[in-house]
Structure 1
């Protein structure tokens, strides 16, 4: 992965949660699916799933698309975005100079 330090930090932060790792793994196997089906598959509530999906989407790890089913029901479909994270000392050294002041001073 080549990108900014903030982008790298955002991706690592988004993946530093077991629920989010399960979401990415499940979507990579299932492919594109809607929230209710994903929540059932993972075994978490839809509100909690939405919270984690938002974090993953903000980091660029998943994408969503709102669609209307033939019966008029709105369905939000998610899928894994193509990404690769190469985490080596050299990659970290390359990314650190581009960290913003906020990211450099953050403990979270």
Structure 2
């Protein structure tokens, strides 16, 4: 990963590229793995290596992933990594352009579908996890009455807390502290609604 910050997506081509459901799954799998080959990712998403290679090249064409240092003696293997620490799409970058709004909405729905699938899988497999993991898992909902600036500030604070824990975990893992570590999904949604 060459850049520690989020990549801010503002163009239609990149939005369309990442909105593809398989590309989003590949991006998520690569983000979790940190580095991987097409064949490793193909095993994870249960798709042909040639198809996965094609979609990885499309993600790379839009700067979402990049080649990584080879992690094995086989020089024929192409290793990939995310090019940034995630990405973001902001309303102010898409509003006023119907094509960008539609692509942003499609991406939001694709991401939500994959998040829902992850949560449903955990619920289905819940009893296969240890009591410690079941107790540590979090499911909560808050319904505060906030202003738009308060919601924005809340989002920034929550992102800072999650970034702190993720960076701490990545540093520990890089130092060899892998005992008891599992991939953890934390999904936050904060949006206005009318009852």
Normalised by the length of structure 1, the TM-score is 0.69
The structure 2 residue matched to 1:74, chosen from 73, 76, 83, is 76
Which position in structure 1 is the counterpart of 2:63? 60
Normalised by the length of structure 2, the TM-score is 0.40
Which position in structure 1 is the counterpart of 2:32? 29
SS at match of 1:63: strand
Q: Which 4+ runs in 1 deviate beyond 3 A?
A: 65-69
Deviates more, 1:17-26 or 1:57-66: 57-66
Deviates more, 1:76-85 or 1:52-61: 76-85
Distance (whole Å) between structure 1 residues aligned to residue 72 and residue 28 of structure 2: 26
For the Cα contact (< 8 Å) 1:64–1:79, is it kept in 2?
yes
1:40 maps onto 2:43 in alignment: yes
For the Cα contact (< 8 Å) 2:71–2:79, is it kept in 1?
no
Q: Which has the higher contact order (CA 8 A, sep 6+)?
A: 1
Higher strand share: 1
Q: Tell me how many residue pairs correspond in the alignment.
A: 89
For the Cα contact (< 8 Å) 1:60–1:81, is it kept in 2?
yes
For the Cα contact (< 8 Å) 2:35–2:68, is it kept in 1?
no
The structure 1 residue matched to 2:53, chosen from 50, 69, 73, is 50
Tell me: CA distance 1:68–1:26, structure 2 relative to 1, closer, same or farther (3 Å): closer
Name which one, 1 or 2, has greater alpha-carbon Rg.
2
* Unaligned ranges ≥5, structure 2: 1-7, 98-195
The structure 1 residue matched to 2:23, chosen from 17, 20, 26, is 20
Distance (whole Å) between structure 1 residues aligned to residue 33 and residue 70 of structure 2: 18
